[in-house]
Structure 1
C-alpha cells in the first residue's frame, strides 16, 4: 500500500474481488486496512469510496457502480498515506473545542505530503490529534461525525480563504466516512471517527490560516438553489462541498452551513 506505481495492480485486484465476492464483504475486509492511510491522495481515496458506497446503498448494484467502488478502493490503496501521530482518540473535547484548538504548521507551502510531513514538528499537534472525545457507542459515532461535518463546514466560512480548494476536504473527508458507516460492522465505527477527525484536523492544520476572515457576504437560498448554483459553477470542489453541506443542513437544521458552498463558489 502507498506505492502509486502499483496502482494498476490494485485496480486489477479489486476488480477481481468485487466480481467474486459481495461488495459489503470486500469493503468490510479492506476498510480497516485502508483507514489508517486516510490522507491518501489528499483524502480523495476515502472520498471516492464514500461516493461509491452511498450509491450502492441507495440505488442498488450494477456493474458500473461496483467498478466505481473497485477503482476507489484501488486508488486509496495505491495512495495510502497516514496522518502523522494519528491513533485512537483519548481526549475529552467536543468537536467545536477540538477544532478550535488545532495548531497550524508555521510554513504553509508546498504540496500536502510536504505539509503533513511538518506536523510532527508542531509541539501541540500530538495532543490536538487525540483531543476529541471518543464516541461511546455506534449512535455516538454517527452524532460525532455529523457534528464534525457541520462544524468543519462552518469553519470553511472563517478560514476557506486560506486555501479554497484544499480546505474543502476538511468537510468532504468526514462526510465520506459518515456515508460509509451504515455499510460497516459497528465495531469499525469508533476507529472510523478517529480517522475522520485526524483527516479534518490535519487539513485544517496545514492549510487553514491562523486568523479567520470577516464573515463573507453570501446569498443563501434553499438547499435546491444552493446545489443548483454549485452545479452551474461547475468546479468539482464547489459541487462536492455543496453536496456535503446539504447533508449537514438536513441533519442539523442549521442554514448557516449552506453558505459555505456559495463562499467556495466565490473563492474558486
Structure 2
C-alpha cells in the first residue's frame, strides 16, 4: 500500500484508538494527522489546516451534532469513509463524499476492504465517484445492514436467563459494573461495557443519555427542563439517580425523540 495521510472524526476515545491501531496494522505507511472529537473541532481543523490529507474516517453522531453539519461549514474535498453504529444515514453519507459505510462494531477485514476501495477509486488518477459506483456501494450497504441484539444471556443466581432487549428500561453503570433494569423492575448484571452495549442495541429504541445511562424509548414518561440548559428524563421504573441530558446533547436527543 502507498503512504496515506488520514484524519479521524470520532468522539469515542476507545473507538478512535482501536481504529488507529487497525489502520496502522494494515498499512505501516499510514499517518494520522488529527483525531477530531466534535463537529466544532472538525470545522475548525478543516478550516485552518494547511496539511494535505488523503482520506477521512468519520463517525456520524458526535457529541454536538451530526457530522454532516461539518460539510455545511467547510469544504472537504477528499473521500470519506463513514464508520457509525447507525444504519439509517447511508444515502446522506454518500451525498457527502462518502465512498464506504461501515457499521460498528467493525473488524479489520471491513477496514481493509474500505482502504482497498479507496485505492481502486483513486487509480490511476484522483477521480470523482460516478453514478454506477455509487449505486454499487449503496447495494453493498443495504446488503450488509446491521441486525441488533434481540436478547442477552444474563446470570441470575445459578442460572443463565434470556433477557429480551426490548424489555430493558435502561442500562446503568456504577463502579465499573453495568446493570440492565427491566420494564418490570428487575435488575441484572451485564457482561458488556456501556460502549459495547451501545454498538449492539438498536439506536432507534435506545439512547445514550450520558456516561452512566442508556435509556429505552418505551421507558420514558416525560422530560423536564433542568439547570444550565440540560434536560432531566423521567423513566419508569425510576432509578435512584437523575438521568440528565447535557446541553450539547439536547438537540440530538430531541431529534431522536421526534423520529
Q: Same fold judged by TM-score > 0.5?
A: no
By relative contact order (CA 8 Å, sep 6+), the higher-ranking structure is: 1
Structure with greater helix share of residues: 1
TM-score normalized with structure 2 length: 0.26
